[in-house]
């Protein structure tokens, strides 16, 4: 349910953090910076420590190229990969076909990135998309669903909209989550550069399946303790 974002610029720091957290309590996300510097070898080392890896490379290219890249990624044995939904229906269909054999043999998931949270209405307009971010998220999420992908990455603020309009099963993976202890405005609160944060409990209550959390875990004095308190918050939310 928790995915720890390993946003490091070298393999040693990523592995040091990974050895301080329990793979039963969290999956890990390897993004563009870490993968570019540390590559498949790091993914294999994380897997040998028992972690399920979400390879967050957000592919966006012509269908044939995306299919090839996804096959290469899935061959590493990762649990989840992703593409930009704005690559369009043909690219999404190619992504689904490329991953299908891996889903069958190893349960590999492929999800679509909807609208980056760095994009607001003005940014969308600048690239010729004259709708609100919420409308665009829903539109792209529908394309992802129609193409048969497993779900989307979106802001926790948009999960409610997705749950209301798109039938399950459809995974929602949400960054922009800050534990209650670090909620903006709370004592010692820290949102880092995230602007629209939600607590783990609120994100789960809204219908999030997986919470992507980076710095509140990776920069904590005791990362496992930080993770435990987030897991407790999530479990309490599920019970209530």
Judged by CB, which is closer to ligand C5P: 62, or 120?
Answer: 120
Candidates 29, 58, 71, 190; catalytic one:
58
The answer to whether residue 194 forms part of the interface with ligand C5P (CB under 6 A) is: yes
- Each residue 137-166 as x (binds ligand C5P by CB under 6 A) or -, in order, gives ----------------x-------------
H or E element at residue 27: strand 27-31
Q: What is the 3-state secondary structure (H, E, C) of 90-136?
A: HHHHHHHHHHHHHHHHHCCEEEEECCCCCCCHHHHHHCCCCCCHHHH
In degrees, rounded to 5, the angle at the alpha carbon of residue 73 between the alpha carbons of residues 72 and 74 is 95
Segment 205 to 224, residues that bind ligand C5P, using CB under 6 A? 212-215
- Decide whether 214 or 223 has the Cβ nearer to ligand C5P: 214
CA-to-CA distance for 103 and 105, rounded, in angstroms? 6
Judged by CB under 6 A, does residue 237 bind ligand C5P?
Answer: no
* Residue 26 contacts residue 54 (beta carbons within 8 Å): no
Contact 114, 145 (CB under 8 A): no
Is there binding between residue 233 and ligand C5P (CB under 6 A)? no
The residue to which tokens 């190619």 are assigned: 94
229 forms part of the interface with ligand C5P (CB under 6 A): no
Q: Total binding residues for ligand C5P by CB under 6 A?
A: 14
For residue 125, indicate whether it is catalytic.
no
C-alpha of 201 from chain center: 17
* CA dihedral (104, 98, 88, 209) positive or negative: positive
- Cβ nearer to ligand C5P, comparing 33 with 101: 33
114 sits near ligand C5P (criterion: CB under 6 A): no
Site for ligand C5P in 20-79 (CB under 6 A): 31
CB of 74 to ligand C5P, least distance (A): 20
Work out how close the CB of 215 gets to ligand C5P at its nearest, in angstroms, rounded to a whole number. 4
Contact 22, 217 (CB under 8 A): no
* Given 87, 156, 176, 200, the residue binding ligand C5P (CB under 6 A): 176
Q: Which residues bind ligand C5P (CB under 6 A)?
A: 5, 7, 31, 116-117, 153, 175-176, 192, 194, 212-215
């Amino acid at each position: 349910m928790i995915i720890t974002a390993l946003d490091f610029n070298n393999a040693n720091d990523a592995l040091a953090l990974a050895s301080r957290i329990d793979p039963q309590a969290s999956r890990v996300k390897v993004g563009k910076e870490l993968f570019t510097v540390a590559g498949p070898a790091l993914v294999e080392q994380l897997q040998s420590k028992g972690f399920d890896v979400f390879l967050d490379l957000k592919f966006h290219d012509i269908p044939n190229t995306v299919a090839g890249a996804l096959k290469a990624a899935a061959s590493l044995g990762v649990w989840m990969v992703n593409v930009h939904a704005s690559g369009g229906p043909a690219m999404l269909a190619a992504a689904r076909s490329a991953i299908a054999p891996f889903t069958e043999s190893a349960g590999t998931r492929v999800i679509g990135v909807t609208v980056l949270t760095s994009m607001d209405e003005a940014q969308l307009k600048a690239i010729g998309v004259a709708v609100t971010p919420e409308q665009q998220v829903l539109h792209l999420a529908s394309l992802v669903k129609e193409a048969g992908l497993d779900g989307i990455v979106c802001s926790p603020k948009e999960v409610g909209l997705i749950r209301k309009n798109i039938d399950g099963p459809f995974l929602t993976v949400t960054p922009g989550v800050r534990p209650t202890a670090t909620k903006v405005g709370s004592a010692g609160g820290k949102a880092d550069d995230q602007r629209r944060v939600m607590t783990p409990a609120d994100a789960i209550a809204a219908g999030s399946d997986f919470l992507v959390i980076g710095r509140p875990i990776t920069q904590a004095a005791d990362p496992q303790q930080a993770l435990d308190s987030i897991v407790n918050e999530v479990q309490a939310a599920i019970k209530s």
